[in-house]
Amino acid sequence: MPTKYLTTNSLPSLPLTFPRNYAVNYWTKSKRSLQFNGFINASSSSTDRNRSQRFAVLLEVEGVLMDVYRLGNRQAFNVAFRKLGLDCANWSEPVYLDLVRKSAGDEERMLILYFDRIGWPTSVPTSEKRAFMKSILREKKNALDDLVVSKAFPLRPGVEEFIDEASKEGVPVIFLAAYSISGEKLARSIVEKLGADRMSKTKIIGDEEVKQSFYGQLIFGEGVSSSMDEQLAKEVTKAASAERQRIAEEVASMLKLKVELNTSSSERLQNVIATLRAGAEYADVPIHSCVLVAGSQSGVAAAERIGMPCVVLRSSSTSRAEFPSAIAIMDGFGGADLTVSRLRRKL
């Protein structure tokens, strides 16, 4: 996901209601589906009571609607290896899971660990290793896209019933596609497996929806002017990051090492936060009355940062992870696991 949603901790907290003339959508219930109109700055006590009883469900896509990495990521790597003529490379499930664990899911790091272990192809000089890995990851992504959209890869059992239950009870359901690791296009194709009828009762938050949200416009300065303090805070953050990088490079030079500070994790966290806030805006429900159903560490961390309750749905990539900030950890939808009524009791 692009770094265009970057924000800083100096941004002011946003109110839970927005200007009457601000044209962003919210949920209202109709006979057959939930439709989006515009924010209403309601003041009646009855409306306030109804809103206080409402909550919304925000769902990640990868790892929640579909365990993409258990079903397809390993197979997609093997397809990429075969397409590039790397007959010596084939990842069994134990090998794949070991690489995921040791690399914390960083796919480029997974390739480095693997080829350092078995030996790099003799046709790949040291200077071209990065380009070689990029070509594998490009082919892997293409293969994964094809696998996920195929009928062979189903949604998690019980997810359709969960959406139906939420619709019946008038609970807004938001799918978060904007920070999907495999990209928004793939995330939307997964959601489409729900069918047109169920999709009409939900909302997908992608890059464009984040930009058009009140929070997004505040960050981008489009339609809502940023104060001088906010602009200065952004510049200070950039300068501080550059200074940290400079110091790290000086120390590395002294040690004859090449070091690159990894700021991508903090940037990704800010991107996820922007998406969660946009999701709450579109649902017209306060942050603390939304529940994030997460399958990623970054989603859990972002929810904790902004005070949004979070339920973790375990997947192959998080089966051994700890989530102390989550209000619940579950294995799937329905039965003794995730249901709308159980979420309501958790709040």
Question: Quick check: is 14 in a domain?
Answer: no
Domain at 35, CATH number: 3.40.50.1000
- Domain with 208, as residue range(s), is 20-66+155-220+264-346
Tell whether 138 and 160 lie within a shared domain: no
Q: Comparing C-alpha atoms, which of 85, 48, 35, 9 is closest to residue 240? A: 9
Tell whether 189 and 125 lie within a shared domain: no
Tell whether 195 and 51 lie within a shared domain: yes
Question: Quick check: is 282 in a domain?
Answer: yes
pLDDT in tens, 115-172: 999 999 999 999 999 999 999 999 998 998 888 888 778 899 999 999 999 999 999 9
Of 88, 118, 149, the position where a domain reaches its end is 149
Question: Quick check: is 229 in a domain?
Answer: no
Number of domains in the chain: 2
pLDDT in tens, 14-52: 444 444 333 344 343 333 334 443 333 333 444 444 444
Mean pLDDT in consecutive groups of 10 residues from the start of the chain, 347 residues: 46 42 38 36 41 81 85 89 92 89 86 95 92 95 86 89 96 95 88 95 95 84 52 57 55 40 61 94 95 92 95 80 89 92 86
pLDDT given at position 13:
45
Tell whether 58 and 161 lie within a shared domain: yes
Tell whether 208 and 320 lie within a shared domain: yes
pLDDT given at position 337:
92
Cα separation, 250 vs 243, in Å, equals: 11
Question: Quick check: is 259 in a domain?
Answer: no
pLDDT given at position 309:
96
Question: Quick check: is 244 in a domain?
Answer: no
pLDDT given at position 190:
93
Question: Quick check: is 252 in a domain?
Answer: no
pLDDT given at position 57:
97
Q: Pairing mode, if any, of strands 173-176 and 203-205? A: parallel
Tell whether 137 and 210 lie within a shared domain: no
pLDDT given at position 51:
44
Q: What is the pTM of this model?
A: 0.67
Question: Quick check: is 9 in a domain?
Answer: no
Tell whether 145 and 46 lie within a shared domain: no
Tell whether 216 and 88 lie within a shared domain: no
Tell whether 210 and 272 lie within a shared domain: yes
pLDDT given at position 170:
95
Cβ neighbours of residue 47 closer than 8 Å, sequence gap 6 or more = none
N residues, the chain: 347
Of 102, 119, 149, the position where a domain reaches its end is 149
Of 127, 149, 171, the position where a domain reaches its end is 149
What SS3 string covers the chain? Answer: CCHHHCCCCCCCCCCCCCCCCCCCCCEEECCCCEEECCCCCCCCHHHHHHHHHCCEEEEECECCCECHHHHHHHHHHHHHHHHCCCCCCCCCHHHHHHHHHHHCCCHHHHHHHHHHHHCCCCCCCHHHHHHHHHHHHHHHHHHHHHHHHCCCCCCCCCHHHHHHHHHHCCCCEEEECCCCCCCHHHHHHHHHHHCHHHHCCCEEECHHHHHHCHHHHHHHCCCCCCCHHHHHHHHHHHHHHHHHHHHHHHHHHHCCCCCCCCCHHHHHHHHHHHHHHHHHHHHCCCHHHEEEEECCHHHHHHHHHHCCCEEEECCCCCCCCCCCCCCEEECCECCCCECHHHHHHHC
Q: Comparing C-alpha atoms, which of 323, 318, 325 is closest to residue 97? A: 318
Question: Quick check: is 72 in a domain?
Answer: yes
pLDDT given at position 22:
37
pLDDT given at position 100:
83
pLDDT given at position 95:
92
Tell whether 129 and 164 lie within a shared domain: no
Tell whether 39 and 175 lie within a shared domain: yes
Tell whether 309 and 197 lie within a shared domain: yes
